[in-house]
Amino acid sequence: MLDIAFDDIDEAALAQLVANETPESRDLEFKRDLPGQEPDNIREFLADVTSLANTNGGDLIFGIEDVDGVAAGLPGVAIANIDNEILRLEQIIRTNVDPRLIGVRIRHIPFAAGNGALLIRIPPGLQPPHRVTFRNSGKFYARTSRGKYELDVHELRHAFVDSSRLPARFRQYHAEGIERARGIDMPFAIMNDPTAVVSTMPLSLFREEREIAITDDHALVPIRPNAYSSIDMMEGVMLHTPVDEATGRVRSFAITYRNGRTDVAWTIGGTRQNQQGQDMKLVFAPSFEEGLITAARATQTRLQQFGVEGPWIVIASVYGVKDHFMIFGDHYQTRPAFKDETLIGELRLDRIEVTGLLPLAKKFWLHFGVHRPENQAFGPPNGLAG
């Protein structure tokens, strides 16, 4: 996969591949011509796509000529109707791969002298291994640095087992994020108030070793900071709000890990006095929702600078919320939460957009025994965050 954001790849970037005599690899494949309508061409195209999806994901580029797997020329491809060709390839992938391959992105890269390249970015499969079903093929493919190959029975068994373990491995990382919020193996904990923890990770996390050069200039910022400090850690960089002198705790922190994931923790409520001077244990839905959107969206923005792409796993939990309630509408009071710690939910998203995070907000409200009002706005007015 090119170490460039998908939307930033242009003719110059492709020409550099040729100038550098870049070889094909486990996550990069060159093709001189687009796949034709012949069954053998379609079958070969699907084998290329699924081999990338079943490995680490990667880029399939049409319009680059190779010699023995090394980029040697940039003739491009002539496409009469670009939109129709993209739709054709999308349809081939959509109808001939099982399980369905989510998150494939295709774009045309025009050349100054005419023609152009067609770039297909294939994410790691959400439910690998993916098989080619075209004309009852039923074959599974993967890749090495020398190209694609068909999986044997032993490799297939391993692939299915490894896929079944993925959810637990993501949740384990999230559980460690909760422990950090509680102060375990940390210089401090989050304030002793209701707290949210959001972990955002690329689906490729366990399939691709990476060590990004994260610094405090590029690390995730904590939620709603009035000021913040940074700490370089073995695992990454943590930015945190000021340490309270009385408690030794903080309101929020964000850890950007060198392997390309984040944990963000912040308080979402506490004890407040009403007009009668009575103590009320409150949780504020906007604090959770705004923090969720900011944490997840900012992760995508920051990590894409280092070539980390989706699909993404977003996991959210809250703790310390027992006996707390929310107030909404005309001062309507929900029932108090009876569970202290809850896994709000887990999402798998091709791209992290505001609307895609709404299911987590709805589950958060249900933790307090009410449905989130359908007419209540979700996210900032312009639909952007982070």
- Which pLDDT value is given to residue 164? 62
Neighbours of 58 (CB within 10 A): 27
The full set of domain ranges for the chain reads: 6-151, 164-366
User: 32-77 pLDDT, tens per residue?
Assistant: 999 999 999 999 999 999 999 888 789 999 999 999 999 999 999 9
| Contact of 352 with 297, CB cutoff 8 Å | yes
Kindly state the helix (H) or strand (E) to which residue 319 belongs, with its residue range.
Answer: strand 312-319
- Which pLDDT value is given to residue 383? 41
Give CA–CA dist 133/44, Å, rounded. Answer: 12
- Which pLDDT value is given to residue 1? 75
**Nearest partner of 133 among 54, 52, 43, judged by Cα:** 43
CA torsion sign, 271 to 273 to 274 to 278? positive
Give CA–CA dist 293/283, Å, rounded. Answer: 17
| Contact of 75 with 11, CB cutoff 8 Å | no
- Which pLDDT value is given to residue 274? 74
Q: Which positions of the chain have pLDDT values less than 70?
A: 126, 159-165, 329-330, 380-386
- Which pLDDT value is given to residue 382? 42
- Which pLDDT value is given to residue 209? 77
- Which pLDDT value is given to residue 96? 95
177-196 core/surface letters (b: 16 or more CB in 10 A; e: else): bbebbbeeebeebbbebbbb
CATH homologous superfamily of 6-151? Schlafen, AAA domain (3.30.950.30)
